[in-house]
Structure 1
Amino acid sequence: MMRSYLLLLFCVTCWGSNFVFGSMLVHEFPPLLLSAFRLTATSLFLLGYAWSTKRLQRLSRRDYLLLVPLGFIGTLVNQAAFFTGLQTVSATTASLVLSLAPITTALLAALFLKETFTLRMAAGSVLAIAGIFLVVGQSGGLALSRGLVYIGIAMLTFAASIIMMRRLTERIEPFIATVYSTVIGSGMVIPAALIKEPLQGSSSHLWAWALLIVTAIVMQGICGLVWNTQLRRVGAGKASVFLNLQPFVAMIVGFAFLGTPVTAVQLAGSVLIVGGVILATLKKKAKAPAPMAPGVPTA
């Protein structure tokens, strides 16, 4: 189980770093077109790896009944809602709403997957969310607006996609599920991006294209494979709690690469985030069984 947790931590570290690299790339590419380019690179990488390892396989119609909605909800609707919401909602407010994804996922997992939502998981999630409020420096309440509704939809579709992927990996291998869902999602995002945003707005800098391709392969390709594999082993609820670490990672990487200052309040919030994840994921040690009475059969 510890190996699974370390692999999940690796994924979240990459994804947290992705906020910093994404903030660099968003100045070089239109947002939705950037997503389309990255998904294309990820799809080509996954298809190439699957072909070289001869792991592609035919799926049943029942599998596509999950894959197509997963591509539509988890990729097309999620990306469109997120970038539309960011037109009127600040990144800080958006990150707060999106930080509700782990608890939403755990609740959906308890509802649809019959996973246990323990008091320890609830307490750890609340503690981590309190830390997120400190890390992002939010003060004041959230006023309901059209943009905020879009960000809420992005959060809900992300949580729903985790549940759908968890259900899908009960039927097929996580690698196959990752390949097919990514390719189908890309096929939906690319036309929407080409219609909404012209290609002329893309970067002419070689470093931007190189960063786009590398982050696509690592953040979305490799991490997607690792995450979906471990998702089946630890459960959707516990895996999603690790997502609370992303603001903490983004803060550290932002300081290292962009020189973004780190305040004492943010450090305090980071401690709460890490503490919340530990509280939600560590198991209590099993008690030693009581001695059996002579002649009593074991179950």
Structure 2
Amino acid sequence: MVRSYLLLLFCVCCWGSNFVFGSMLVHEFAPLLLSAFRLTATSLCLLSYAWVTRKLGRLSKRDWWLLVPLAIFGTLLNQASFFTGLQTVDATTAALILSLAPLTIALLARVFLKETFSIQMVLGSVVAITGVFFVVGKSGGIHISIGILYIFMAMFTFAISVIIMRKLTERIDAFSATLYSTVLGSGLMVPVAIIKEPLTQVSPHVWAWVLLFASGIVMQGLCSVIWNVQLQRVGAGKAAIFLNLQPFVAMMVGFLLLGTAVTGTQMIGSLLIVGGVVLATLQRRARIDDIGRMSSSSGLK
């Protein structure tokens, strides 16, 4: 069990660091090209794993009605908005905004899946939203930049993809849904990136290419496989608790690698956001399980 927890911690540290590495890479590559290259690397990694283990479920025609929207929202729009936002938003702020995903998922589940939204969820939402005001606030008030809007879009598209994934995994296993949506999303992203952004907008530095493909293979490919395996051993509910560490990992790695200052308001905001999410989902085991299962398929990590 200790080994499983260490592996889960490794995944969360990688995903938290991904915010910082993404912030570095968007200064070396145009955001859509960056997304396309990384998704291609991730797709190849997942396809290789599926080929070796032969863990690839078959799709019916009805599955495609959910798979296509999942690829559009969970991969194409999510990745594009995430890396575009990181051009102007620091990794810590992005990680804290994206930590609102569990609450957004709960709201969407209430609307589309008719799930209950308890008083505890309301209180947790209020606490977490208060934390957001601390995170995006400045001395002169609240300033919502276009970059922050893109990060909010990344969070929202991820939440939508969780709802779609929840319906799709009633029909096929989570790994197959993740693989198919990633490969399809990659196929959609590549032509869009080539049309919108010339191939000249890529880094001439070897380290940037190594970091790009390493992050795509390790953080989105390898970690998703490790996470899925450990979910079966410790349960999705326990595993999802580790996800609350992502903002703190992003904060520390950003400080160490980029020298990003950690302000007092950010610390207060991070405590409020994480505390609000924990309060809202503390006794919502089914929803926490869904978030844990979806974490391996998100481009946000």
TM-score, shorter chain, exceeding 0.5? yes
How far apart are 1:97 and its partner, in Å?
6.6
Superposition pairs of residues 142-291 of structure 1, within 5 angstroms: 153-225=153-225, 246-283=246-283
Counterpart of 1:91?
89
Q: 1:182 to 1:203 in 2, by over 3 A?
A: same
In 1, distance between residues paired with 2:77 and 2:258?
31
Count of residues in correspondence between the two structures: 276
In 1, distance between residues paired with 2:226 and 2:127?
26
Of 275-284 and 5-14, deviating more is 5-14
- Checking the alignment, whether the CA contact within 8 Å between 1:38 and 1:213 is kept in structure 2 is yes
In 2, distance between residues paired with 1:174 and 1:261?
38
In 2, distance between residues paired with 1:185 and 1:226?
22
What TM-score do you get using the length of structure 1 for normalisation? 0.75
Q: 1:280 to 1:14 in 2, by over 3 A?
A: farther
- Superimposed CA distance per residue, residues 20-49 of structure 1 (whole angstroms, 9 cap, x where no aligned partner): 101111111111100000000000000000
Task: State the SS of the aligned residue for 2:57.
Answer: coil
Q: CA RMSD in A?
A: 3.7
In 2, distance between residues paired with 1:21 and 1:131?
24
In 2, distance between residues paired with 1:260 and 1:86?
14
Q: 1:156 to 1:210 in 2, by over 3 A?
A: same
Counterpart of 1:113?
113
- Checking the alignment, whether the CA contact within 8 Å between 2:100 and 2:128 is kept in structure 1 is no
Q: 1:64 to 1:171 in 2, by over 3 A?
A: same
Task: State the SS of the aligned residue for 2:23.
Answer: helix
Q: 1:37 to 1:158 in 2, by over 3 A?
A: same
Counterpart of 1:288?
none
Counterpart of 2:22?
22
Counterpart of 2:295?
none
In 1, distance between residues paired with 2:134 and 2:183?
37
Query: Which structure: larger Rg?
Result: 1
How far apart are 1:257 and its partner, in Å?
1.8
How far apart are 1:213 and its partner, in Å?
1.4
Structure 1 unaligned residues grouped into runs of 5+? 285-299
Counterpart of 2:55?
55
How far apart are 1:181 and its partner, in Å?
0.6
- Superimposed CA distance per residue, residues 166-221 of structure 1 (whole angstroms, 9 cap, x where no aligned partner): 21112111111111110000000000001111222212222211111121123222
How far apart are 1:123 and its partner, in Å?
2.2
- Aligned residue type for 1:264: G
In 2, distance between residues paired with 1:17 and 1:254?
8
In 1, distance between residues paired with 2:174 and 2:45?
16
- Aligned residue type for 1:91: V
Of 42-51 and 265-274, deviating more is 265-274
Of 204-213 and 3-12, deviating more is 3-12
Of 213-222 and 53-62, deviating more is 213-222
What TM-score do you get using the length of structure 2 for normalisation? 0.75
Task: State the SS of the aligned residue for 1:91.
Answer: coil
In 1, distance between residues paired with 2:172 and 2:151?
31
1:66 matched to 2:66: yes
Q: 1:21 to 1:150 in 2, by over 3 A?
A: closer
How far apart are 1:130 and its partner, in Å?
2.5
Q: Give the percent of matched residue pairs that are identical in Structure 1 and Structure 2.
A: 66
- Checking the alignment, whether the CA contact within 8 Å between 1:135 and 1:247 is kept in structure 2 is no
- Checking the alignment, whether the CA contact within 8 Å between 1:125 and 1:276 is kept in structure 2 is yes
Counterpart of 2:299?
none
Task: State the SS of the aligned residue for 1:199.
Answer: coil
Structure 2 unaligned residues grouped into runs of 5+? 285-301
